[in-house]
Amino acid sequence: MLFIGIDLGTSAVKLLLMDETGKILKMASKEYGLSFPHPGWSEQDPQDWYSQSIAGLKELLAGCDKSQVAGISFGGQMHGLVALDDKDQVIRPAILWNDGRTTKQVAYLNEVIGKDKLSAYTANIAFAGFTAPKILWMKEEEPENFARIAKIMLPKDYLAYRLSGSFCTDYSDASGMLLLDVKNRKWSEEMLAICGISQEQLPRLYESYEVVGTLFPKVAEELGLSSEVKVIAGAGDNAAAAVGTGTVGDGACNISLGTSGTIFISSDQFGVDEKNALHSFAHANGKYHLMGCMLSAASCNKWWMDEILQEKDYVAAQKDIKTLGQNHVYFLPYLMGERSPHNDPLARACFMGMTMDTGRADMIQAVFEGVAFAMRDSLEVARSQGIDIKRTKICGGGAKSPLWCKIMANVLNLQVDLLEVEEGPALGGAMLAAVGCGAYGSVEEAADAIVRVADTISPEPALVEAYEKRYATFRQIYPALKEIFPQV
């Protein structure tokens, strides 16, 4: 049997073909546009997701034995609002996870409804990227569009709907909507009432490894596949990436350095930190996880290299960085505002500490270190809850930099495991498809069989000590600038 994993990302859809042993046979990727119609807004056309996914599937399947394809599943960008009318037409462009237009609605939810109530209803508080504030925004700012809504879904679930007709979502992705009672794994009646929507407008809930349907005959014919190919629910990108890195046991940790950055801590038990600084979500293995999410991670380096330095050779640019732990330049990585742990959509990126002898290498290093320091902010919240983490996996585009991985190991003071194969949500999606089709008895069984560690970076005591001092300074910068950000 063969299995397909589809990672519906922010800039591209990545597709992966895997056999029963976990061997990756082929990969494909198709890009699509991202729209910023107003400062802080971020939108995409769901039709682009579907058309590029179909094009990617055709490329992926070319030359393979299509009769062996048994299942398709997904990892997808979370929190996006996709609204369809009663004719299944997309009402407006999808509002994405990194969209910051909902400041007013987030304030209403957190301050008027109240964080305590939100936490009781959903195990989380409101963040600008979450889906519920976007629904409220649409209700207030686009009432005619809001009145047309027949179906509300998340980005990857739009693909599942177009492929199979199943109006579905999974618990991990639904956790990020601020509409799910995470502890009890059901839609929150209180949140639906607050948002003015009904349960009929929301998809049916599944575990990430459950079969939601089979391919539409027309879709199957276009792709040259059997209409018996199973479509499996899939997971939010971070949960899918955690599956792809084998982060499924109690206390297991994964750090993702993608467009956004996350620290993902798997747990067998439901739990919430007292300030809701971390997200408390369902995991793709049927259990739970805590997650800290920063909105700009590897994208900070992409912005700095592409837009500011206009330099395409990322590897060469890092060669001049010789000394770690002594850089006098600091970088706040809040290019799109920040989520965990500050929950501040108005926060902005900045450099500080430059002098006449500051060079290009210092600035690049500051970007790497700033992302690592911001990731540590979330790790410290987990540690304050008594969670003792000694090591972590790492994935995402930023993990391809040995220098960045070394900085992460020493800033966080963790053993950092590098994987033999690191394909994040796409691999996780294929593994969920394999579980859904019965090739493995559980997500844990699939992870044990497929995921392998290639190398481990250990923290160095002297560097850990040096970064401890620098982190103590870093964590003072945001509070000092917090009141200035709204003015800029």
Instruction: Kindly state whether residues 207 and 117 are assigned to the same domain.
Output: yes
DSSP 198-262: -GGGSPEEE-TTSEEEE--HHHHHHHT--TT-EEE--EEHHHHHHHHTT--STT-EEEEESSSEE
Average pLDDT of the chain is 95
Rounded average pLDDT over 277-306: 94
110 — phi, psi (to 5°)?
A: -75, -35
Q: What tens digit of pLDDT does each residue of 170-187 get?
A: 999 999 999 999 999 999
Q: What tens digit of pLDDT does each residue of 64-104 get?
A: 999 999 999 999 999 999 999 999 999 999 999 989 899 99
Instruction: Band the pLDDT of 276: cuts 50, 70, 90.
Output: confident
Does the pLDDT value for residue 138 go beyond 90?
A: yes
Structural domain tally of the chain? Answer: 2
Instruction: Kindly state whether residues 316 and 372 are assigned to the same domain.
Output: yes
The CB density around residue 188, as the number of other CB atoms within 10 Å, is: 22
| Predicted local distance difference test score (pLDDT) of residue 275 | 82
Instruction: Kindly state whether residues 274 and 391 are assigned to the same domain.
Output: yes
Q: Is beta strand 453-457 parallel, antiparallel or unpaired with respect to 415-419?
A: antiparallel
- Final residue belonging to a domain, choices 238, 264, 284: 238
Domain-embedded: residue 434: no
Q: What tens digit of pLDDT does each residue of 367-419 get?
A: 999 999 999 999 999 998 888 899 999 988 899 999 999 999 999 999 999 99
CA distance 394 to 376: 14
CA distance 158 to 88: 10
Instruction: Kindly state whether residues 149 and 263 are assigned to the same domain.
Output: no
Give the active site residue among 237, 273, 377, 417.
Answer: 237
Instruction: Band the pLDDT of 274: cuts 50, 70, 90.
Output: confident
Please state, in angstroms and as integers, the Cα–Cα distance from residue 400 to each residue in 44, 303, 420, following that order. Answer: 27, 17, 12
Does the pLDDT value for residue 105 go beyond 90?
A: yes
Instruction: Kindly state whether residues 284 and 413 are assigned to the same domain.
Output: yes
Instruction: Kindly state whether residues 194 and 57 are assigned to the same domain.
Output: yes
79 is in an annotated binding site: yes
237 is catalytic: yes
Instruction: Band the pLDDT of 264: cuts 50, 70, 90.
Output: very high
Domain-embedded: residue 445: no
Rounded average pLDDT over 237-246: 93
Instruction: Return the closest-CA partner of residue 317 out of 273, 365, 275.
Output: 365
Instruction: Kindly state whether residues 308 and 364 are assigned to the same domain.
Output: yes
- Final residue belonging to a domain, choices 238, 272, 305: 238
| Predicted local distance difference test score (pLDDT) of residue 388 | 87
Does the pLDDT value for residue 327 go beyond 90?
A: yes
Rounded average pLDDT over 329-345: 92
Does the pLDDT value for residue 339 go beyond 90?
A: no
CA distance 298 to 310: 16
Q: Quick check: 194 and 135 in contact, CB under 8 A?
A: no
Instruction: Kindly state whether residues 226 and 340 are assigned to the same domain.
Output: no
Instruction: Kindly state whether residues 394 and 371 are assigned to the same domain.
Output: yes
Instruction: Kindly state whether residues 332 and 232 are assigned to the same domain.
Output: no
Read off the pTM: 0.89
289 is in an annotated binding site: no
Supply the CATH number for residue 415's domain.
Answer: 3.30.420.40
CA 360 remoteness from chain centre: 30
8-state DSSP, 338: B
- Final residue belonging to a domain, choices 193, 212, 238: 238
Domain of 173 in residue numbering reads as 2-238
Domain-embedded: residue 453: no
Please state, in angstroms and as integers, the Cα–Cα distance from residue 432 to each residue in 67, 230, 258, 284, following that order. Answer: 19, 11, 21, 8
| Predicted local distance difference test score (pLDDT) of residue 60 | 98
Instruction: Kindly state whether residues 177 and 31 are assigned to the same domain.
Output: yes
| Predicted local distance difference test score (pLDDT) of residue 424 | 83
Rounded average pLDDT over 444-460: 96
60 — phi, psi (to 5°)?
A: -65, -40
Instruction: Band the pLDDT of 343: cuts 50, 70, 90.
Output: confident
46-61 vs 155-164: helix crossing angle, rounded to 10: 60
Say whether 120 sits in a helix, a strand or coil: helix
The residue to which tokens 């509002």 are assigned: 95
